[in-house]
Structure formats: structure tokens, C-alpha cells
Structure 1
Amino acid sequence: MHPDLRPGNISTLPISYKRYASPALNGSLTDFQKLMDFLKKRPHSDPALFLPVYYSNLDPAGIPTAAQLDSWTDHVSPINRALLALQGTTQLWAAGFRWPDGVLSLLWPRIWKWINWLDTYRETVQGIIPLSEVDAYSLYMRSIIEILTNSTAVPLANMPPGIRVFGGRAWRITLPPTPGRNTVAHSDVVRFLGNDTNSGQPSNFREYLEGVGTVDDFAALVLRHIAHAMPQPTPLYLFFQLSGMLGMLVERNDHGGPLHRALLDHGIIKAVTNVACHYATSSSEETVEIVAMCFTLLLRAFDAFPSYTAVAEALESNKLIALITTCAQREGIHWNQSLRRLLETVLPPSVWSYSVLKALSGLLTDRQRLVPANGDRLFPALDFQDVELSTMWEQFNKLATQRVSTFQAYDIGAYQSIRGCDNMDCGRLCRRNEIKRCSSCRQTNYCSVKCQSLDWRVHGHRHICARLRPLLLAPEHTLSSVRDSSFVHALVHHDYELHILTWCTHKIYFMYAHPGVPFYLMWDYIRGTAALGVRACAEAPPDPEPSDASAA
């Protein structure tokens, strides 16, 4: 036994302390309580002399079995004595006690066995221990975090299995209900998460998830955690609060799985956009790292199918554009890569969607109308240090301006009242309630059953109908809403009128090259701008890459 843990050490105590310490060492709950009260009033100059009392009362032999919990056996005393011993050790840490070498490595196994048992039987012992659930987990986490942060103790990597299950449960229990109101208990959980550099690994993450509850519970907790951190203004505090938790999310990428969907449902896009936008102006190393993690999570959300819903959410309240504007003045290698992806593969392919354009249009002042021909721009020019980024921004700004102008016209009803029959021999214009869609692909319109039958048998709709259906790359999602589909028709109409001479040239060339071959016009918005094409009816449209599916 370690010299500082020997029971005989208490014999050197003054009688005023020894009269309580000696029976407490031998299992007297009443005397242990009196000893703790006496130490609060008259702290001893050598706290190490009380280590044998704490060590003895944390003996795992005193842990009740499941059978004992169901019987009349007196299990109240060992449970409460173990709690008093935990309180005693945490008070030593709070007082700045310098632990003798080797003591913590002997004390830790006993501490963990008791904490693990108290956590496992938390519902059973709730009426026994004199602490609220929050206070109890605060005590447990304080004991664990002090062990973790002690250089001579056991690192988290070598902690026993189940430690993260406890960490997840403590996280859920100790997070304050009021945003911005910090507690010692929650700060200890934050320190625990920050110390766990492997929290996102599948096996470790499953432990956290087990402690928190369901995937939906975990996602809700993440959003509460972010909301709790945001009212604090200092970058260093933000880094302390969020680095461990965001690091876990960055490392744990389930590639569009249940966790990803749950986070999206609970509003992770708005939350991390708000964090990044709020702190991108800070030059501290800590917040630069936080913003980089936010970019990673945002781009991961934008890569999901369909991406346009995530883009629309990020654009609301101008947060994403404000973030890009701020980053234009403060670029780094990680931010440049993120900005390039936003301006090349995320934003341009999304501006065909009604929801995205509605969010962009919402950034305009009341009754403001865009007139692209007059040189108006939706956003101001940005002078990036990287010239290529400036060019990408200008291209997106021009495209967004044109699309919002079309959207504004669509939104006041300029394109909604009339549709054309898609039978090539007809082309009759009808009111919306006078025309019917193909029940299979839902993409072609006919003024009569005769026109539909003729188009099916003669003009090639039979060959392309299946390919005109919304892409089924992700069966749980639909490609677009009814409103999106309606707006795409208006967009195609607008672009057709804008490029009618080009279209006529393409059609004439095709007819000369392929005389007598039925053809159709293809509009490809995968890259943002409209790509023009004329194809034979027997030639199906090419499938886009999965990453491009949301823009098809």
C-alpha cells in the first residue's frame, strides 16, 4: 500500500479531528459526515492525512449487489460514504492540493467503479443520495476531469470502457436550460469533450450516443449546446465551449446517415452558419479553427441530397452571404478551399430552386426590383485576395441577379397562367386548369388524350418518359417540390425566349445532320447556367453524377 494511504496515518491527527476520522475510516457514516462538516469549519494544514479515510470508504467491496438493492440490507451507508469520499477528493483539488506521486493511479480505479455503479443504478439510488441529479453528476464529472487533467494520472485513451457513456449522460444532464448561463458542472463536461480527441471514432461515438439517448436526442443536444455558447462574446470562451463538440461532429461523418439527417432536422445549418458568421471577424487562432470546422460541417450538409434545401436555409437572414463577405477580407488556406467549393459547386447549381431564390430575394429591401439590364447586382462586388475567387463571386453574383429577376416575375404570376401542349404537332397554349400532365413522368403536358396518345406512339415520348421522372438516386427524398417544378418551367420559358436564336441554330443544324429524326431540346442546369442541347428522342438524357443530382 502507498505510504500516504495507510490507515495508521490518522493517528498523527489532533484529537479534535481523530475522534471523527477514526470511526469514519472504519465505516461510520455519521462520523464521516461530522468529519466533513468539521473540515469545512477548520481545515487541517496537512490534507494528505485524510487520504486513508477517503481511500477506505471508496473500497469497491462496499458496492451493493443487485440482490442487496432489492433486500433490506443496509446499503445506504456505503453509498453515502462513497459520495462523501468523492466530495473530499474534489475539495482537495479545489484547494490546489498537490497529490503525492502514485496516489491518483491507486485511487482512480476505486473512484471509477463507484461512479460507474452510481450511474448504472441512478434511478434506484435517486431517493437514497442527498444530491439532485445535476449535483450528483457534477460531483462525478469533477472527479473524472481532475483525473484526466492530472499529468500523472490516466489519460482518456486508457480509460475503461463505458467512460464515454457516462460522459454523454453527464452532458445531457448538466447542460443548463438557459442559454449563456454557465455552470461548473457543464464546464467540466466541456473539458471532458475537449480532452477526447477520438470522440468521433465509431466505437467511441456509439458510447456517447448511448449516454445521450437516441440519435434525435443527440442532435437536439448539439443544437442546445451551440445555443448555450453563443451569448458569450469572447472568442476564447467560444473555443472552450465548442471545439470539443464540433470536433466530434467533424470526425464523425456518417455520410448522409441518421445522424446527418437528425442534425439537419434540428437546424444545424443555421446554427453553424451563425457561429461562423459571428466569429469570422476574429483574428484569434482559436476562432479561426472554429470557423474552419463550421465550414466543414456546412459543406458536408450541402453535399447531401438534395442540397438546395440546405443552401436555402443557410441563405436565410443573409448569414451565408455575410460569412463569404467577411472571409473575403480574411483568407487562409482552409477558408480559400471552402470558399472555392461554395462559389463553384454549391451556390451556382442551386439557383434554379424556388426555395433558394426565395431566400435570395428575401435579402432585398421592400419593393426593391432587380433590373439586370440596367447593371444592377444582387450583392456588392468583393475583392478577394485570390483573383480566381473574385471571378467566381462575380459570376455567381451575375447568375443570382438574373435568376432572382426571373423569380420576381414568376412570383407575381407572369409565367403561371399558360402552358403549352408538348405534342410536337400541336403546341396549343392552355390555361393551367385546362391542361393535364403525363401520369408517369409528370413532366410533359397535353391538352387532350389524343395529343398524349400521338406523342407517345409517334413522337418518341415512349422512349424518354422514364428518364424524365424525378431522379431516384435517393428514394427517401424527392428531387424537388411542386413549386420548384413549376418555377423550372418558368425558368426554361424565360431562357428559351432569351436564347431563341441560339436554339433555332441548334435545331436547324440537327435537322440537317439527322434528317427525319425526332428530337427534343435539353436544358441542363447542373452547373448553374443553362447548357443548351438538341438530342434525338431515342437518345436518353445522360444521368448526372450523384454529387450533381440536386442541381439536375
Structure 2
Amino acid sequence: MHSSLKLSNLSKFPPRFKKLAQESVSGSAEATMSLLATEELPPRCIPCLLPVIYSALDPAKIFAHLGLINSSTSEEDFLPNGVIWLQAVEKVICLRNLWDIKEQCHIPSAAFMDLWPRVWAWIDFLDEFRDLVPISQKTPLQTRYTIFLTSFQMFRGNEAVKNLMDKTPHLYAIVGRAWNIFLNGDVVTDTAHEPELEEDRLMGLDDVSYFLRLWSWSESWGSPSFEELVAGVGGTRSHLASLVVAHIHFALPTASTPAVEANVLHLVAMMYLVGGTGEESGTASRSRDSIFRDALLHKGAIAALTTAIQAIDGSTVPIAATVMQCMLRALVSLMNNFPRHKWVVQALDAGLLNVMLCCGSAKRLKEMSALLDDLLYDILPSTTVYHSVLSAFQRGLAKIQHIDVKARFGDEIYLELWEGLFRLVRPRLALLDEYDSGQLAASIHRACDNLECCNVVPKRELKCCNSCLSAVYCSRACQKTDWKAGHRQGCPILYAKRRGRPYSFTATKDRSFFRALVHDEYTRRREEVALELILFMHDDPKLEPYVCFVYINGTCELDIGAMEDLLLSDGDKCDNDNDQEEYQTSEAVDLESDSGHSDDSELRYEREPYVDFSYDVSRTKGSRGKLWLHLMDVLDRPGDEEQAQTWAFPIRYASGNESVMRGLREIAEELPKGANVRIRDLKPYLGRVRELLSKEEEGVY
């Protein structure tokens, strides 16, 4: 034991304090609190309080205290001035006074080594039995945990104790518990927001940030200390994600919040947790923690990061630029997860366009260029086919209309990329306005699914099949006719597809807008489609074609394929027994209103062979020219496992258009057999193609 902790030091107290000191070391909690609370003690006697505190924190007393808790039958023992209450508060006051003593005079380095085991033993005990130790205005939970973390920080300043603390189990569980209490408040007493506790809360969160920074620099994801932290915040990755997002909001709640040094340091602690540091080992292990990543997304990390980046842009804090880069890296990484369009909407509504302008400025561009590339080349273009994304884009444009974009960007190349994005989006925004205003015929009209009818009427006048919720009819007679003509076989397939993953993550309005977008694309590019069909028919004269509009990279590319390739072998098909059990096979299906279920959308996954297009193919081939199968590819699963999600939108005609397809096939047959024919070789046939298309009837998807 260090000499400063020996009881012989009590003799240095003035006579009127010596008695209190002796009563204290004899076990009187009241005497200890009175002595530590006095303001009349001469400064030269303050170091003499160390042996009093050292004695009061004797770990042997823990067993006696635990015995009091277990044996007590009186609630009065837990009330203020009760035995258990006095014992608990005494220990908290001892911990708090250690810091005061250190601030007023020097505590010998060797004394820290003797004090730490006793300090830790009582902090661990008080944390474990926090619900049994009475709450009062003197020691509410926020105050207690502030004292705990302050004690940790004080002892960590001693190199010998620091090494010992790093090997102390359960320490980060207490840090996590303190973190939760500081952000979510003391729900037992509902005192979280009282003015007198705000200082403790702010001090405590500073200490939490300090220890989280220490942890991220020295420990790895999934380490024992990480699991301790998770246990402390609530026990799950979801609890951890909730606190991370809440802490970012605490540091910079709005885009106009001043980003001073304290706020920025809070964000430094969060960057490792959200994946912004870019460290290979940490990023790789964290990216495999899909539960935590998904929890971050669903707790609102996208909006929190987008807001914080805007706030930190004008900061003069030296590390602000680095933190801003880390935050953008984390934001881009999180946005690049399925369903990508959902996270893009959240980012746009929180100010993503302004973030891009901030990061594209001359002083930021060098560090941010790779991340801006991801946004401008990939993430934003690929999602601008969704109604929800375009609507958010429109709202975002209104927020930055006062900004001089040309003056903001620090590089002509990125200014061109920005303008290129708007060239892509602008016509789609115009289509969005037509769609939302109800002026777009392709979005408000549908054709009856009975191929013998194909009556084109406003969607609200159609009724949908009560089983598959996909096929729509203008009358019960049309429904019965189509049931016998093939819907009997297709209805279970449509039912299973509607229960699939794409429908779960794609809103009805987004799917409806897909149809309008494809209709608009085909209308503008009919001649190009016709020429591509001729090339396909020349190369594969025996196959029936489909047209696919590929939006994987944002722009629309045409892909002509064979309908036979959409059919799956029996070995590729999945077992849909579970869906079939739920599907009602009765022919007596009822008609219901079209409320939200009017889509005739089909789907398939490339590289996921259990989605079947046989129904679409059979209906198209048997339609006698009344159907033409068009597909649409959108990005489904971004990242390393990039995958297309395919939606089917058959175009319907009131009467047959076989003459158009027959005319295109005749042109294909006139081309040299076996020759490598290209689009430019079809120039002599343009007149005939245009004449055929002029006879084509207006179709409805």
C-alpha cells in the first residue's frame, strides 16, 4: 500500500475533523459523507482524505452490502437515509471526490495502482445492482454513470493502471450502459432533461466518445470488448445502431448546427461504427455484420449522416475535413444496399444534392472525388426510374435552386457529370409531372386481360382477380372467359410472384410508374426497336422475340431476346407447395375494386431460376398479335452481387398487329443469309419500317 493511503495520515486532520475521519474508517457512512462534504477542511488536509476513501471502498464491504440487500425486508432501507441507501451513496460520493482531490492536489502515481482494484470493484457492483440501489436527486443514474466514466478516464491517465484497465472485463459494458442512459435518459425517474442534469449528460457523452475512440483504435469488430459494448447498450446490434444514430443526431441535429470541436469529436467516435474509416480489416468484418448494417439503415443512419455532412461543411475545426470524408464514405456504403432506391429517397430528402455540392467544391474535391464518382456514375442514375426517387429528387432541387452550381464545383469534369445526371433526370421529371397530374394516358388506362376483349378503359373501371390480384377485367363475363382460356393455369403463378421479394420492396406507385416509363421509352424509340427486331429475326429466324428496356446503369439500353429463353426447365423451378396451399383454386373467383392491385406486373430474377415467365410467353404467343412482351430491367442487388430485377409489361392492342411483326420479318428474310448485318446496313429499309409503324395501333401496357 502506498504511504498516502495509510490510516496514519488521519492524525494530520485538525481535532474537529479527526473524530469524523476515525468514525468513517470504522464503517460510518454518515461520517464519510459529512467529512467529504465539508468545505472548511484546510487545503493541506485534502490529501488526508485519500485513506478515508481507500478504507470506504474496501471490496470486503461489498459482501456485507450484498447481504443487506438480500436480507432486507423493509422498504425503508432503500429510501433516502435508509441503511442501504446510505451505503450506496457513500461509495458514489467517494468516487466523485477522488476526482476533486486529483484536481486540487497531486495523487501519487503508485497510489493509483492501489486504488484502481477498489474503485473498479465498487463501480462494477453499483452497475450490476443499479436497479436495487435507490434513486434520488443526489445520485440519479446520469450523475452516477458520469462519475463512473470520469473515474475511468482519470485512472487511464496513469500508464500502469491503463494497461490493467485494458485487461479488465466488463468495462465496456458499463461504457455502453452509460451511453444508453445519457442519450435515452433515466426512464425510472424521468429526470433526463432537468436542467441540473444536462451538464452531467454532456460531460458523460464526452467521456463515452473518448472511450469509443479508444476502443476503435485498439480493438477489432467482434472482439470481446465489442460484445461487452453491445451487451451494455441493450444486448443486440439493433440497440447499438439506435444509439449510433441518436448520437450523430445529438452532435449535429440540423444542417445549420455549428460544428464546433466538441461536436466533431463526437462524430469521430461514431465513424468507425458506421464504417466511415475505410480501414480494410474493420470495414471487411463490419460489412459481414449484416444485422448491424441493416439496423443502421432502419434506424435512420442515412438521414443522420446526410444532415451531419452539411453541418460540418463550414467547420474550421482542423479534423473536420477528414471527418466529413469518413461520413460521406459511410453514407455511400450504406446507400449501396438493397433496396437501394429506398435509401436514396431518404438521403435526397435529407439534403443529398447539397452534400454533393459541398463535397464537389474546390477545397473538398480531391478527397471526395472517388465517392462522388459512386454517386454520379452509379447510385443516383440507377435509381432514377423510381417514382419515389424522382419525387425526392424534385423536392431536393427546390432546396438548392438558390445555389450557383457552376461556381460551387471545383472541376469542369464533375460539373459535366452533374449536368449529365440532370440531362438524364429532366425528361423523367417531366414524365413524373404528367403522371402525378393524371394527364398520362399510359398510367390511367388499362386494357381488359381477356384477350378476346382487350377493351381499354380507365383503371378505376376495372376489377381485379381476387386470388392473384394481378389480372384485371371489365366484366365478370370477361373474367370467366379468360379463366377458361388460360388464367386457370396462370393465376397460381401470378399469386406466388405477388408474394415475392420484389413486390415487398417496390411500392405500387413505383411499379405503376415503371409501366409509364417503359411506355414512354417505347413510344419515342419505336423505330430503333423495330430495327433491332429485324436484326434479331435475321440472326434467329425461328425464335419469337421480346424487347427488354435495361435501366441498370440509369440510361435505357435495348436488349432483344428470345421468349424461349425465358422458359425454365423443370429442374430450375422451385417448389411452390407452400404458396399453392394458400392459393384458392376455385373457379368461382370474385371481383374486387382495383384499390392498389391493378398492376399486371410480372417479374424474374436473373440467376434466380425459380421465377417463371411461362405464363407471359404462352399468353403472348397465343394472343394473335394482341400482346407484345416488353420487359424492364432495374438494379436489384447493388454491390459485388449486382443483379437485375426484371418486370414484365405486355403491351396490348385493341386488335391484331400481326402485320407489323410480319412486315419486319419479311425485311429480315431479305437480308443476306449468314451475313454480319448491322443497324447501318438497314438504312435502305427505313422507309418500309416507317410505313409499317405508321399503321401500328396505339397500345396500352
The counterpart of 1:143, out of the listed 126, 146, 151, is 151
Deviations 1:102-128 (A, max 9, x none): 211221111011001011011111259
Cα distance, 1:155 vs structure 2: 5.0
The answer on 1:194 being equivalent to 2:216 is no
Q: Is the CA contact 1:437–1:446 (under 8 Å) kept in the aligned structure 2? A: yes
1:222 matched residue in structure 2 = 244
The counterpart of 2:333, out of the listed 297, 300, 319, is 300
- State how far apart, in whole Å, the 1-side matches of 2:315 and 2:30 are: 55
Secondary structure (helix, strand or coil) at the match of 2:27 reads coil
Q: Is the CA contact 2:156–2:165 (under 8 Å) kept in the aligned structure 1? A: no
Structure 2: gaps spanning 5 or more residues: 78-82, 186-191, 276-281, 567-603, 608-634, 647-701
Cα distance, 1:294 vs structure 2: 1.9
Q: Is the CA contact 1:21–1:35 (under 8 Å) kept in the aligned structure 2? A: yes
2:530 matched residue in structure 1 = 504
1:490 matched residue in structure 2 = 516
1:20 matched residue in structure 2 = 20
Q: Report the CA distance shift for 1:323/1:140 in structure 2 as closer, same or farther (over 3 A).
A: same
1:326 matched residue in structure 2 = 358
Q: Report the CA distance shift for 1:488/1:86 in structure 2 as closer, same or farther (over 3 A).
A: same
Give the letter for the 1:136 counterpart: R
Secondary structure (helix, strand or coil) at the match of 1:305 reads coil
Larger-Rg structure: 2
Q: Is the CA contact 1:179–1:227 (under 8 Å) kept in the aligned structure 2? A: no
Secondary structure (helix, strand or coil) at the match of 2:560 reads strand
Cα distance, 1:7 vs structure 2: 1.8
- State how far apart, in whole Å, the 2-side matches of 1:519 and 1:470 are: 25
1:126 matched residue in structure 2 = 134
- State how far apart, in whole Å, the 1-side matches of 2:6 and 2:215 are: 34
The answer on 1:546 being equivalent to 2:555 is no
- State how far apart, in whole Å, the 2-side matches of 1:484 and 1:249 are: 29
- State how far apart, in whole Å, the 2-side matches of 1:75 and 1:506 are: 86
The answer on 1:173 being equivalent to 2:181 is yes
Q: Report the CA distance shift for 1:428/1:496 in structure 2 as closer, same or farther (over 3 A).
A: farther
Cα distance, 1:54 vs structure 2: 1.4
Give the letter for the 1:41 counterpart: E
1:288 matched residue in structure 2 = 321
- State how far apart, in whole Å, the 1-side matches of 2:330 and 2:423 are: 27
Q: Is the CA contact 1:238–1:287 (under 8 Å) kept in the aligned structure 2? A: no
Deviations 1:48-80 (A, max 9, x none): 332222112111001036444221596566544
The answer on 1:358 being equivalent to 2:391 is yes
1:109 matched residue in structure 2 = 117
Q: Is the CA contact 1:526–1:551 (under 8 Å) kept in the aligned structure 2? A: no
Cα distance, 1:46 vs structure 2: 5.2
- State how far apart, in whole Å, the 2-side matches of 1:121 and 1:453 are: 71
The alignment of Structure 1 onto Structure 2 pairs a total of residues equal to: 532
Secondary structure (helix, strand or coil) at the match of 1:123 reads coil
Cα distance, 1:258 vs structure 2: 3.5
- State how far apart, in whole Å, the 1-side matches of 2:61 and 2:544 are: 87
The answer on 1:242 being equivalent to 2:267 is yes
Structure 1: gaps spanning 5 or more residues: 369-377
Secondary structure (helix, strand or coil) at the match of 1:190 reads helix
1:87 matched residue in structure 2 = 96
1:313 matched residue in structure 2 = 346
1:371 matched residue in structure 2 = none
The counterpart of 1:208, out of the listed 225, 229, 254, is 229
1:70 matched residue in structure 2 = 70
Q: Report the CA distance shift for 1:76/1:432 in structure 2 as closer, same or farther (over 3 A).
A: closer
1:464-475 correspondence runs (5 A) = 469=497, 475=501
The answer on 1:277 being equivalent to 2:310 is yes
- State how far apart, in whole Å, the 2-side matches of 1:535 and 1:364 are: 38
Deviations 1:26-65 (A, max 9, x none): 3232322232133x23342253332222112111001036
Percent identity, please.
25
- State how far apart, in whole Å, the 2-side matches of 1:290 and 1:67 are: 50
Q: Which moved more, 1:237-246 or 1:160-169?
A: 237-246
- State how far apart, in whole Å, the 1-side matches of 2:136 and 2:260 are: 42
Q: Report the CA distance shift for 1:356/1:128 in structure 2 as closer, same or farther (over 3 A).
A: closer
- State how far apart, in whole Å, the 1-side matches of 2:101 and 2:258 are: 32
- State how far apart, in whole Å, the 2-side matches of 1:340 and 1:352 are: 19
The counterpart of 1:400, out of the listed 390, 401, 425, is 425
Secondary structure (helix, strand or coil) at the match of 1:534 reads strand
Q: Is the CA contact 2:358–2:364 (under 8 Å) kept in the aligned structure 1? A: no
The counterpart of 1:419, out of the listed 446, 452, 460, is 446
Q: Report the CA distance shift for 1:234/1:45 in structure 2 as closer, same or farther (over 3 A).
A: farther
Q: Is the CA contact 1:277–1:323 (under 8 Å) kept in the aligned structure 2? A: yes
- State how far apart, in whole Å, the 2-side matches of 1:4 and 1:219 are: 45
Q: Is the CA contact 1:4–1:49 (under 8 Å) kept in the aligned structure 2? A: yes
Give the letter for the 1:239 counterpart: V
Q: Is the CA contact 1:25–1:53 (under 8 Å) kept in the aligned structure 2? A: yes
Cα distance, 1:341 vs structure 2: 0.9
Q: Report the CA distance shift for 1:283/1:143 in structure 2 as closer, same or farther (over 3 A).
A: closer
Cα distance, 1:174 vs structure 2: 2.5
Q: Is the CA contact 2:242–2:299 (under 8 Å) kept in the aligned structure 1? A: yes
Q: Which moved more, 1:513-522 or 1:10-19?
A: 10-19
Q: Report the CA distance shift for 1:424/1:501 in structure 2 as closer, same or farther (over 3 A).
A: farther
Q: Report the CA distance shift for 1:397/1:440 in structure 2 as closer, same or farther (over 3 A).
A: farther
Cα distance, 1:129 vs structure 2: 10
Q: Is the CA contact 2:172–2:225 (under 8 Å) kept in the aligned structure 1? A: yes
Q: Which moved more, 1:522-531 or 1:45-54?
A: 45-54
1:340 matched residue in structure 2 = 373
Give the letter for the 1:522 counterpart: C
Cα distance, 1:476 vs structure 2: 9.4
Q: Which moved more, 1:385-394 or 1:19-28?
A: 385-394
Give the letter for the 1:18 counterpart: K
Secondary structure (helix, strand or coil) at the match of 1:304 reads coil
Give the letter for the 2:527 counterpart: L
Cα distance, 1:504 vs structure 2: 0.8
Give the letter for the 2:355 counterpart: L
Cα distance, 1:286 vs structure 2: 2.0
- State how far apart, in whole Å, the 2-side matches of 1:456 and 1:515 are: 29
Secondary structure (helix, strand or coil) at the match of 2:547 reads strand
The answer on 1:480 being equivalent to 2:498 is no
Secondary structure (helix, strand or coil) at the match of 1:523 reads strand
Secondary structure (helix, strand or coil) at the match of 2:339 reads coil
Q: Report the CA distance shift for 1:248/1:526 in structure 2 as closer, same or farther (over 3 A).
A: same
Cα distance, 1:349 vs structure 2: 0.4
- State how far apart, in whole Å, the 2-side matches of 1:111 and 1:310 are: 46
Q: Which moved more, 1:407-416 or 1:217-226?
A: 217-226
- State how far apart, in whole Å, the 1-side matches of 2:352 and 2:556 are: 24
Secondary structure (helix, strand or coil) at the match of 1:478 reads helix
Cα distance, 1:443 vs structure 2: 7.6
Cα distance, 1:528 vs structure 2: 0.7
Q: Is the CA contact 2:53–2:94 (under 8 Å) kept in the aligned structure 1? A: yes
Give the letter for the 2:25 counterpart: L
Q: Report the CA distance shift for 1:265/1:238 in structure 2 as closer, same or farther (over 3 A).
A: same
- State how far apart, in whole Å, the 2-side matches of 1:179 and 1:481 are: 43
Cα distance, 1:509 vs structure 2: 1.6
Normalising by the residue count of structure 1, what TM-score does the alignment of the two structures yield? 0.84
Q: Is the CA contact 1:137–1:185 (under 8 Å) kept in the aligned structure 2? A: yes
CA RMSD of aligned residues (A): 3.8
The answer on 1:253 being equivalent to 2:286 is yes
The answer on 1:61 being equivalent to 2:60 is yes
Q: Is the CA contact 2:176–2:230 (under 8 Å) kept in the aligned structure 1? A: yes
